[in-house]
Each structure stands twice: as structure tokens, then as C-alpha cells.
């Protein structure tokens, strides 16, 4: 299901997230498949989140990483890192492209309040998180990082920093998009506890 975004505003987008929708570029959507409800929109209550042992190790391992929030926009530095990440993570599929226009459409162009979180070691860019700012927290749209630093678990670290930001501004939720039980590529989301899923038109606890 795709919503008409021609008249989108901050309040409208915030309500759509609370109803299980997701943004990609200028599209706000929610999967709908007849007789299938596998895709579950999930979110983390920032004030209740407690890192597990592996996440604490990840945070400690990345103590030398600085995080800066910058306005959403195109930069050659970001795009070069994005291309390297896609060639490593999605080699040969539709995401593995070096097209700046497609990058702008999917990562930069946004009809609502969006920011980038930059992750750097010294002055070197090692990761970027594309984030939306609804009225009740933050929505993690996409994160990409330096493939040569995959052992640092920068994707996990990025989520922890996003939770930290939501706490600092006194809001409630970090939205993580969709999760499918049993899907290996999405399993990292269920490692964050507690995790809530939008099921049968209401948010329910999935784990503790």
C-alpha cells in the first residue's frame, strides 16, 4: 500500500509511522500481501532499551568513532562510501549501482524532516545513517558503512547512537522499519530489547 505524498507534512508523516508505514525516497508505503502478514513494522522504546553483552562490546569497540548530525543532502564523500557498501553488501543485485540520481532519489530526496548521522574516525568517514524525524522520536531509514570495517558492527552501533539521540531529546521511539521473523538479514533487529511490532492495527511487545 502506497500513500499519496503530494500533501505530506510533518504531522501526517508522524501519524503514518505510528500506523506501520515506512518511507523510501518520496514514497511512504506499507507492504500488503493477501494471506500474508510476515512484514512487521517494529520500533524500540528508547527509555526502556538495555544493551545486551554483544551490544555493550560493540559500543566499547567504537569509542573512537565520532557522530555528527548534518542536514540531508548530496555529497560526493557520502556517495562514494554508499557505492562501496552496495558493491560489498548487495553485489550483483538491484541495489548494487553507482548512479548518483538513483542515490538522490532513494537516500537524499525527502518530503519531510530528515537528517544524516555521520560516523567518523578522526576525519575519515566510516558510516552514514539516513534518518527521519517524526514527532515522537526518530526513524532509521538506511545505514551504510565502510566494508573494510565490518568487524566493528557499525550498523549495530548506529542503532545504539540513534536510541541515544532519542533519549537525549526526551522522545519515545526509534522506528526500525520492517522485520520478518526468520529472515537472516533482519534478525539483528530482534536483538534489540524490548522491541514492539505493529500487529493487527496495534503495537505489541515482541520480546523482552
Q: What is the largest CA-CA distance in the chain?
A: 50
Residue 1: its pLDDT value, please?
Answer: 62
Residue 182: its pLDDT value, please?
Answer: 84
Contacts of 83 (CB under 8 A, 6+ apart): 97, 98
Among 137, 189, 186, 144, smallest CA distance to 165 is for: 137
Residue 111: its pLDDT value, please?
Answer: 85
pLDDT tens digit sequence for 3-47: 555 567 888 899 999 999 999 888 888 888 888 888 999 999 999
Measured CA to CA, the distance from residue 37 to residue 40 in angstroms comes to 7
Measured CA to CA, the distance from residue 134 to residue 10 in angstroms comes to 7
Among 202, 93, 189, smallest CA distance to 143 is for: 189
Q: What angle do CA 162, 202, 23 make, to 5 degrees?
A: 45
Whole-angstrom CA distances from 190 to 23, 93, 118 are: 21, 25, 24
Task: Pick one of 3.40.630, 2.30.240, 1.10.530, 3.40.50 as the CATH number of 2-207.
Answer: 3.40.630
Residue 16: its pLDDT value, please?
Answer: 93
Task: Specify whether the CB–CB gap between 188 and 198 falls below 8 A.
Answer: no
Residue 185: its pLDDT value, please?
Answer: 84
The pTM (predicted TM-score) of the whole model is: 0.92
Residue 89: its pLDDT value, please?
Answer: 79
* Ranges in the chain, pLDDT < 70: 1-7, 90-97, 208
Residue 100: its pLDDT value, please?
Answer: 92
The helix/strand/coil state of 88 is helix
State the average pLDDT for the chain: 91
The helix/strand/coil state of 68 is strand
Residue 5: its pLDDT value, please?
Answer: 58
Amino acid at each position: 500500500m502506497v500513500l499519496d505524498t503530494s500533501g505530506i507534512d510533518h504531522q501526517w508523516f508522524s501519524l503514518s509511522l505510528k500506523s506501520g508505514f515506512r518511507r523510501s525516497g518520496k514514497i511512504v508505503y506499507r507492504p500488503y500481501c493477501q494471506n500474508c502478514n510476515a512484514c512487521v513494522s517494529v520500533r524500540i522504546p528508547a527509555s526502556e532499551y538495555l544493551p545486551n553483552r554483544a551490544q555493550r562490546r560493540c559500543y566499547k569497540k567504537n569509542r573512537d568513532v565520532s557522530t555528527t548530525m548534518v542536514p540531508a543532502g548530496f555529497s560526493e564523500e557520502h556517495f562514494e562510501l554508499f557505492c562501496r557498501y552496495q558493491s560489498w553488501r548487495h553485489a550483483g543485485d538491484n541495489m548494487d549501482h553507482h548512479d548518483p540520481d538513483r542515490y538522490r532519489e532513494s537516500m537524499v530526496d525527502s518530503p519531510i524532516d530528515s537528517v544524516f548521522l555521520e560516523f567518523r574516525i578522526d576525519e575519515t568517514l566510516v558510516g552514514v545513517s539516513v534518518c527521519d524525524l517524526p514527532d515522537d522520536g526518530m526513524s532509521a531509514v538506511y545505514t551504510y558503512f565502510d566494508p573494510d570495517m565490518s568487524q566493528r558492527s557499525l550498523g549495530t552501533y548506529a542503532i545504539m547512537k540513534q536510541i541515544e539521540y532519542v533519549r537525549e531529546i526526551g522522545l519515545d521511539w526509534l522506528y526500525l522499519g520492517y522485520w520478518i521473523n526468520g529472515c537472516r538479514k533482519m534478525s539483528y533487529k530482534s536483538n534489540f530489547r524490548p522491541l514492539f511490532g505493529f500487529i493487527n492495527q496495534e503495537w505489541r511487545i515482541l520480546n523482552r
